[in-house]
Amino acid sequence: MPGSTVKTGRPAPLPATYVTASGLPRYHPVSQALHWVTAALALAVLPLAWVAVSLPPAPAKGTLFVLHKSVGLTILAIVVLRIVWRMVRPAPPDPQTPRLLTLIGRVNHGLLYAIFLIMPVSGYLLSALSGRDTPYFWLFTIPGLTKDEGPQKIAESIHLVGQWFVYALVLLHIAGTVWHLVIRRDGLLERMLPVQDGRGSRAD
């Protein structure tokens, strides 16, 4: 009909940068996906190790260790990808929070990146320096290294001590998230969640 407006085609996709309901800039969807995949893998890798260590020598023990090592190497790859992505796509500006809290958050994030690099590398060296290959989800095998007890013991110590840093840093990260969610109620968590209400307004 004359004068009528006909809408055709699919709706325009949400822009890469958008804001939360409270006006805070969100993380890019790729950053969000990498964050939650890392969190899920971190929550999986620890119980796999606990159960594997507690089992007597049996095929199930070996299976759990293969899963533990494979998940750990996946975390290593994703963290490297996150670092590269952060260089390409910097994080959105920090919200207006007390300077000390902002500093604690940045230090915690930096240390989490570091420990999630150190733990898989030390775990691989712990196994490889005993002369063992490392199967990756039974898809392919990462070759071991020449057996060397001295460096292997160092890798073992780093891996054993590093787990306590993982516990502490993850708990601090979760505690900070809960504090923002329950106490401050400032909508900070929403920055790391996909848009829920169909809004696509671009952040300035």
Query: Tens digits of per-residue pLDDT, 53-63?
Result: 998 888 899 99
DSSP 85: H
Sign of CA dihedral 93, 84, 111, 76: positive
**How many helices and strands (H and E) does the chain possess?**
4, 2
* Model pLDDT for residues 54-106, shown as the tens digit of each residue: 988 888 999 999 999 999 999 999 999 999 999 999 888 877 777 888 888 89
d(CA 106, CA 135) in angstroms, rounded, equals 35
Q: Are 173 and 36 in contact (CB under 8 A)?
A: no
Place of tokens 């309901």: 21
* Model pLDDT for residues 102-138, shown as the tens digit of each residue: 888 899 999 999 999 999 999 999 999 999 999 999 9
DSSP 149: H
Question: What pLDDT was estimated at residue 116?
Answer: 97
Beta bridge partners of 142: 134
Name the pTM for this structure. Answer: 0.84
SS3 label, residue 142: strand
Q: Are 92 and 191 in contact (CB under 8 A)?
A: yes
